[in-house]
Amino acid sequence: MSDAVSVLGGAAFSGAIEVADAGLCGMVTLRGDLSDPKLAAAVKSAVGLTMPAARGIKEGTKGAVAWMSPDELLLMVPHETADACVARLDKALAGSHFLAVNVSDARAVFTLTGAGCREVLAKGAPVDLSAAGLPIGEIRRTRLGQIAVAFWAGSETEMRVICFRSVGAHVYSWLCNAAQKGTLPGFL
Amino acid sequence: MSTRLANQGRVIDRSKALDFTFNGKRFKGFQGDTLASALLANGQTLVGRSFKYHRPRGIIAAGPEEPNALVGLGKDGKFEPNQRVTTTELFKGLTSTSQNHWPSLEFDVGAVNKMMSRFFPAGFYYKTFMFPRFAWKHVFEPIVRGAAGLGRVPTHRDADAYEYFYAHVDVLVVGGGIAGLAAAKQAGLAGAKVLLIEQTANWGGRGVVDGVEIDGKAADDWVSETVRELEAMENVTLRNRMMGAGVYDHGYALGYEQLSDHAPELGGPRHRLWRIRCKRIVTATGAIERPLSFAGNDIPGVMLAGAVRDYAVNFGVSVGDRTVVVTNNDDAYRTAIALVNAGLTVPAIIDARPVADGELPEMARRMGIRVETGKAIGKVIGNKKVQSVSLCVQAGEGASLEEIKCDAVAMSGGWSPVVHLWSHCGGKLNWDAANGMFRPDADRPPTGADGVGFVVVAGTANGHLQAGAALADAHAAGRRAAKEAGHKLGPNVASVATSEGENPMLPVWSMPQGASKKLRMKTWLDFQNDVKVSDVRLAAQEGYESVEHTKRYTTLGMASDQGKLSNINGLAVLADALNSEIPQVGTTTFRPPYHPISFGAIAGEARGELFKPIRKSPIHDWIADNGGFWEPVADWRRPYCFQRDGETVKGAVTREILNTRQNVGLLDASTLGKIIVRGPDAGKFLDMLYTNMMSNLKIGKCRYGLMCTENGFLSDDGVVARLSDDTFLCHTTSGGSDRIHAWMEEWLQTEWWDWKVYTANVTEQYAQIGVVGPKARQVLEAMGGMDLSAEALPFMGFVDGEIAGIKARAYRISFSGELSYEIAVPASQGLAFWNAALEAGVDLGIQPYGTEALHVMRAEKGFIMIGDETDGTVIPQDLNLGWAISKKKTDFLGKRAQLRSFMQNEDRKQLVGLLTEDPQTVLPDAAHAVEGPKRANGMQNIIGHVTSTYYSPTLGHSIAMALIKGGSRRMGEVLSFPVAEGKVIRATVVDPVFLDKEGARQNV
Amino acid sequence: MLILTCPNCGVVADETDLHGGGEAHITRFGADASEGDFESYLFHKKNPRGVHFERWRHVYGCGKWFHAARDTVTLEVFGTYSAQTLTPPKALQNKIKKKRPDWEGFKK
């Protein structure tokens, strides 16, 4: 798989904060009955994490799991293991009504680093980006400028942004523009 | 003449001189000046010309209500027209030019309009439209166009950057005067998250100019202290140079922050548009002074009394050596007193009230200022500057008692609370007859999502014109806002403001009371748009009773100041002319923004590269590097063709078609939508969505399907593949993936929520690459991997496996009529696959081809294209696609609609092919087919139109498809298509499949 | 610029994150419908001045549809609730009745 490439090939920008292409990330969309213990067990076996609460995201050593909607999770695993993760879920959930699908390549992921991450995103997302409005451990699906995105804060100085691959270049340019030195409002 | 005073000027720093230019003239101002104060300090009283009559115009106000003094600022990429000098802070090197005159400000040819003023009455534009058409086009339009418009349109691309910022707070306080500061302090003390914004660079508003005392201190000191306290609060943010531009539904407000207008050297974004969500908004926006309506009130040198005071106290600028004050209230006496204290002369205070015995008038008299009560200005004498005023009795018709020499007039017709933000979202007003003003009605506020009022008005904006009452009101407003935002209040300790007591004002709408028609024609209401008292009276006389109609007819209040000065005076004149009362006539609608904001701020970052997101396929960059000639396809960019050096676009398309038909072509089809549909009810669901039967599709097979809306009209098409018993993959058009996915989810979530089906949009998970042409299989075999022989993978089948070491799914489907594969690979390896295919096909003549070759080849085969052959009114039956409509299914989306009699009509437009008589002539897109005799207007009966039209290099002649009334009955008929310049193209109706009807080419 | 609380994910969403979907609680009439029923299904919408039940999709958020009860004049939002219901919840109807005594009540 050495010929596999992420949308921006590892591009990085340094301004008021650092913006970087996070590279290829394995992602699996899992739709099903989130209250089913069988599904919770399958998730636990896939990423080693228990079910997140509504809008929650949990990150562990094997991967991460995010609550995307009442019947949808996003599992994050190393890129090369995404197909295996799907196979594992298929096997664990056989007989249930569910859908597990590898969406790794349909996405672009960016890492924001620095104290101003929240303010950079607040330039384009109609969301209360204060620490109270978007606490650590919560993922928010919304828009950034004109683009559908999801983001969460791993810490007060690191955030991640996910969008569709086709608009990855646009979102990267958008983030770099919003992160120009000396342009943060200093409000949050 | 105006000049700089030796002392005073609380906001300027005399140690920091700044050079600037006006119309090329070099001037000097100080740090802290506005352009207005700096111009006045340099004696520049003439600053522009009015819109209609090109009358000389001077500065009249000191804030955003200024109607006259608009200039062009900066140059080239930094040029911006129509900037108010009163809200423009001076900086080093500022360049400004006056507007609306030719050839020069001092001598303006357009001023002849003034002589023609009887030809430019109210409703001029409407009346002009009544003229014969030729007169409008040849006489009026060129003149009006030449004269129309304020300022000059910038010729360069805006060189600055702009951005948005979304902020969420408990309480937004608009206005940084003493009321706003007090309200913010109370809300802040209660623990609310507060954002306090002030449009100017300075805190304190009018209170600090007018000598108010708060808690026994000068207002200035109280303001500094309070600002320091607020800055120390964690939960409070203060922003100056930020205007509350608008209030919208559910506690949404726009703040317009000017970051570097005052200091261009700062760089960064010039403006930031704040999109603020809050629980409560406190508007502490103060009040605006009204002009008085007397003849000659537009002559440069006639100014608002409050502004005259502002220039003296804040900027140390005298607007004239001898200033006559004319008023109907006590407040204007402060101006007279301030001027005399600054060592200037006030020849008289002319007060329209019969008696003036309040604290301030008595103080003025004690200072030796002449006070004339019951008097008025008959007219101002002067042209480009004030020379004198004639004194008359207010009760009379204007006979002059005396001419008083002066070089400036400070007028005050009372104050109007700034109710704009309260009103933007539906807050209602009451007329306060005693004070001659509209005030917010606290019982009818704009209401939020919870049905409760979310705007609280504070201070002067609430009609409390005296400092003591204003501060008390603001204190209560701040507490109320915090409480309603869910915060507990602390102890109720209010600051107390004191100022001189004021006696009631006297509403004066005409000066003098019985001003003659001649005087009324010189009495301005709207200074920028040149609307006079006589115009509003004429409108009333012509039957315009509604204030909204009168506004549009006369253009009163339609200037870029939006009637901040003129509205109330205009209403009063209209009410008087209609023999009605002001509240009965009503006020016009207040709309955001409060004061013009830049287009840049509205656009935000969405310009240039970021203007519109472009979706890019995994092959995009390769295409860009290899001659791709782009065309937009929905939000994607796809290559129309791949141009080689020295090749025309048409040449490239022809080469690509011929090569694909003879050898092999490579197509980036990644943009096609791909949606997984899975579950026990997936087959049943797709049977409802598609017109064809999908539930009986065999695993490993593909089927072309059509989707319709409930209206029966064709909305999308594509190939469906059955991946397993309960899993399907639905292809959509390139533009349709999000729409069709949403369409599926809508039916699953809102109608058939008990059906067990999950969908996932996996469009971008895959790069999908078409390998097309007689040598397609050879290319894939050369790449190495799974068996793609005719036996292993027959037409309309698919297989999973590996090609060139990449995990792949190969579909054997064809949109060109050739042997054709579409290979789906993970998007991250799309480019690797593309390169491997090009390499493997080198000896086989492989070439990439673009969308135009794709289009021509599908048209040669008579395949329809959603958006070409469909337009939202076309049902599948119209396109001879009846074969794809299941007769067995009891229902599908669109079925009932297609049973309607209109849909069954044989005369509906139907798809046909067309062959032009001259095979080299290509019909224009959308050409209309006509028949029957010409009618009197030269038109014929239109029976249909061309939907797709190309030159087919494969066939060596032009081909077209068209939707023609009763088309399927017209085979062999010759139709006429009138095109430009009286020419008619004739074409024969034929079967739309032009090439290989038997499908032999793809069955190999 | 409305704000509505998505009952599916709990987010208090800005209008720009949402997509309006017109009147709620419309009964679909399919292939065997009479002309009158089909016409009313496709074209006869209530468009009331006052209390209204609407469909919204949290399109930039969780992607789910929900229903909202709203006053079309004042824009007051009485409540949001599941899209998988045939009538508005009784408690919501009572709440609206209390706030708008003149309301004629929910009618299909």
Whether residues A32 and A101 share a domain: the answer is yes
List the structure tokens of B952. Answer: 């087919």
Contacts of C37 in chain B (CB under 8 A): none
What is the tens place of the pLDDT at every residue in B166-192? 999 999 999 999 999 999 999 999 999
**Displacement of CA B466 from its chain's centroid (Å):** 38
**Chain C interface, mutation test: which of B276, B758, B896, B904, most C Cβ atoms within 10 Å?**
B896
Q: Which residues of C touch B (CB under 8 A)?
A: 1-4, 14, 21, 28-33, 35, 38, 41-42, 55, 57, 59, 63-65, 71, 74-77, 83-84, 99
| Overall domain count for chain C | 1
User: What mean pLDDT is predicted for residues B628-650?
Assistant: 97
Subunit contact B745:C1, Cβ cutoff 8 A: no
| Boundaries of domain holding A141 | 12-23+107-178
Q: Which CATH architecture has domain B905-1004?
A: Beta Barrel (2.40)
Q: Are residues A138 and A76 in the same domain?
A: no
Q: Residue C10: which of A55, A143, A148 has the nearest Cβ?
A: A55
Chain A: list its partners (3+ Cβ pairs within 8 Å): B, C
Mean pLDDT for the stretch of residues B561-587: 90
CATH number, domain containing residue A43? 3.30.70.1520
At C12 the three-state DSSP class reads strand
Q: Which pLDDT tens digit goes with each residue over B39-75?
A: 999 999 999 888 777 888 999 999 999 999 999 999 9
Residue written as tokens 């009138």? B978
Determine how β-strand B727-732 pairs with β-strand B673-678. antiparallel
Mean of pLDDT values over C2-8 = 97
HEC readout, B138-205: HHHHHHHHHHCCCCCCCCCCCCCCEEEEEEEEEEEEECCEHHHHHHHHHHHHCCCCEEEEECCCCCEC
Kindly list the residues of chain A whose beta carbon comes within 8 Å of any beta carbon in chain C.
54-55, 68-70, 72, 126-127, 140-143, 148
Tokens of B469: 């009452």
Question: Contacts of residue A142 in chain C, CB cutoff 8 Å?
Answer: 17, 60-61
| Domain boundaries defined on chain B | 1-156, 162-287+417-490, 291-413, 523-584, 670-889, 905-1004
Regarding whether A101 and A30 lie in a shared domain, the answer is yes
Q: Please check whether the domain covering B523-584 is classified as CATH 1.10.10.
A: yes
Residues A98 and A113 placed together within one structural domain of the fold: no
Check which CATH number belongs to the domain holding C48 and give it: 3.30.2270.10
- Is residue A17 domain-shared with residue A30, that is, in the same domain? no
- C1 and B250 within 8 Å at the Cβ level: the answer is yes
Nearest CA in chain C to B445: C74
A105 and B832 within 8 Å at the Cβ level: the answer is no
In a domain, residue A94? The reply is yes
Share of chain A above pLDDT 70, in %: 99
CATH of domain B291-413: 3.50.50.60
Residue C96 lies in a domain: yes
Q: Which tokens go with B397?
A: 């018709």
pLDDT band at residue B132 using 50, 70 and 90 as cut-offs = low
A100 and A113 fall within a common domain? no
Pick the CATH number of B670-889 from 3.30.1360.120, 2.30.30.40, 3.20.20.70, 3.40.50.720: 3.30.1360.120
Establish how many alpha carbons lie within 13 A of residue B702's alpha carbon, considering only the half-sphere containing its beta carbon: 21
Same domain, A142 and A97: no
Judge whether C31 lies within some domain. Answer: no
Task: Decide: A168 and A147 in contact? Cβ < 8 Å.
Answer: no
User: What tokens were used for B236?
Assistant: 């409070």
Which of these three, A52, A73, A105, is where a domain ends?
A: A105
Residue A167 has pLDDT above 80, yes or no: yes
What is the nearest CA distance from B507 to chain A, expressed in angstroms?
45
Cβ-defined contact of B251 to C71 (cutoff 8 Å): no
Q: A71 to chain C nearest CA, in Å? A: 10
pLDDT exceeds cutoff 70 at B108: no
* Residue showing tokens 């809102």: B750
Q: Is residue A166 part of a domain?
A: yes
Bridge partner residues of B151 (DSSP): none
Q: Classify B799 as helix, strand or coil.
A: strand
Residue B113 has pLDDT above 60, yes or no: no
Inform me whether the pLDDT recorded for B150 exceeds 90. Answer: no
The nearest CA of chain A is from the CA of C60 a distance in Å of: 5
Residues A94 and A32 in one domain: yes
Nearest residue in A to B257, CA atom: A185
Residue A16 lies in a domain: yes
- Residue A3 has what pLDDT? 82
Note whether B638 and B668 are within 8 A (CB). Answer: yes
Mutate to test the interface with B, among C76, C78, C96 (most CBs of B within 10 A): C76
Minimal-distance CA residue of chain C relative to B896: C31
Residues 6+ apart with CB under 8 A from B349: B324, B325, B326, B327, B332, B333, B336, B361, B364, B369, B370, B371, B372
Last residue in a domain, options A105, A129, A164 = A105
Of chain A, the percentage scoring pLDDT greater than 90 comes to 97
Q: Is A1 inside a domain boundary?
A: no
Cβ of residue A71 closer than 8 Å to a chain B Cβ = yes
Query: Quick one: pLDDT at residue B528?
Result: 85
A16 in the same domain as A32: no
- Chains near B with 3+ CB pairs less than 8 A apart are A, C
**Which of C 46-75 lie inside 8 A of A, CB atoms?**
60-64
Q: Which B positions 25-84 lie with beta carbon below 8 A of chain A?
A: none
Whether B115 has a pLDDT exceeding 70, the answer reads no
Distance in angstroms (rounded) separating the CA atoms of residues A173 and A147: 12
Contact state of A107 with B606 under an 8 Å Cβ cutoff: no
* Closest-CA residue to A63 (of A49, A51, A73): A49
Contact status of C16 with chain A (Cβ, < 8 Å): yes
Domain encompassing residue C77: 16-24+44-103
Contact between chains at C29 and B896 (C-beta distance less than 8 A): yes
Domain B1-156, CATH number (from 3.10.20.440, 3.20.20.70, 3.30.450.40, 1.10.1740.10): 3.10.20.440
Residues of chain C with C-beta less than 8 angstroms from the C-beta of A54? 9-10
Residue B376: pLDDT above 50? yes
Q: Is A124 on the interface with B (CB under 8 A)?
A: yes
Which amino acid is located at B674 in the chain?
Answer: K
User: What residue type is B162 in one-letter code?
Assistant: Y
Q: Which fold has domain B162-287+417-490?
A: FAD/NAD(P)-binding domain (3.50.50)
Contact B59, B561 (CB under 8 A): no
pLDDT in tens, B828-857: 999 999 999 999 999 999 999 999 999 999
Q: Do A143 and C16 touch (CB under 8 A)?
A: yes
Three-point CA angle B805, B807, B810, nearest 5°: 110
User: Considering the entire predicted model, what is its pTM?
Assistant: 0.95
- Tell me which residue has tokens 């804060």: A153
pLDDT at B110 over 90: no
The span from the CA of B147 to the CA of B149, in Å, is: 7
Is residue A88 domain-shared with residue A127, that is, in the same domain? no
Handedness of CA B880, B885, B886, B890 (dihedral sign): negative
Could C9 and A142 be called an inter-chain contact, meaning their C-beta atoms sit closer than 8 Å?
no
Interface of B to C at Cβ within 8 Å reads 248-252, 277, 447-451, 710-711, 742, 745-746, 749-751, 753, 890-892, 895-897, 899-900
A157 in a domain, yes or no?
Answer: yes
Taking the CA of residue C66 and the nearest CA in chain A, the distance in Å comes to 12
Distances, alpha carbon B643 to alpha carbons B186, B850, B857, B951, in Å:
69, 10, 18, 18
Chain A residue with minimum CA distance to C12: A127
Q: How many angstroms separate the CA atoms of B265 and B161, rounded? A: 13
Predicted pLDDT at B149 = 60
Residue A1 has a pLDDT of 46
Q: What tens digit of pLDDT does each residue of A47-94 get? A: 999 999 999 999 999 999 999 999 999 999 999 999 999 999 999 999
- At residue B87, φ and ψ (nearest 5 deg) are -115, 10
What is d(CA B821, CA B121) in angstroms, rounded to the nearest whole number? 73
How many Cβ pairs within 8 Å bridge chains A and B? 126
What DSSP string runs through B243-290? EEEEEETTTEEEEEEESSTT-GGG-S-SEEEEEEEEEEEEE---EEEP
Average confidence score pLDDT of chain B: 94
Pairwise CB contact (< 8 Å): C62 & A140: no
* Residue burial B521-537, b: 16+ Cβ < 10 Å; e: rest: bbbbbbbbbbbbbbbbb
pLDDT at site B121: 62
Q: Which helix (H) or strand (E) holds B675?
A: strand B673-678
Tell me, yes or no, whether A97 lies in a domain.
yes
User: Which DSSP helix (H) or strand (E) runs through A121?
Assistant: helix A117-122
- Domain B162-287+417-490 shares a fold with domain B905-1004: no
Give me B66's structure tokens: 């200024």
- Give kind and range of the element (H or E) at residue B676: strand B673-678
B243 neighbors B134 (Cβ within 8 angstroms):
no
Is residue B808 a contact partner of residue B767, using CB atoms and an 8 Å limit?
Answer: no
Whether residue B324 is predicted with pLDDT greater than 80 in this model: the reply is: yes
Among C3, C30, C64, the residue with its CB nearest the CB of B449 is C3
A2 occurs within a structural domain: no
Is there a domain that residue A184 lies in? no
- Does the residue C8 lie in any domain? no
Picking from A105, A133, A168, the residue at the C-terminal end of a domain is A105
Tell me how far apart the alpha carbons of residues B423 and B563 are, in angstroms, rounded to a whole number. 15
Structure confidence at residue B102 as a pLDDT band (50, 70, 90):
low
Percentage above 90 pLDDT, chain B: 88
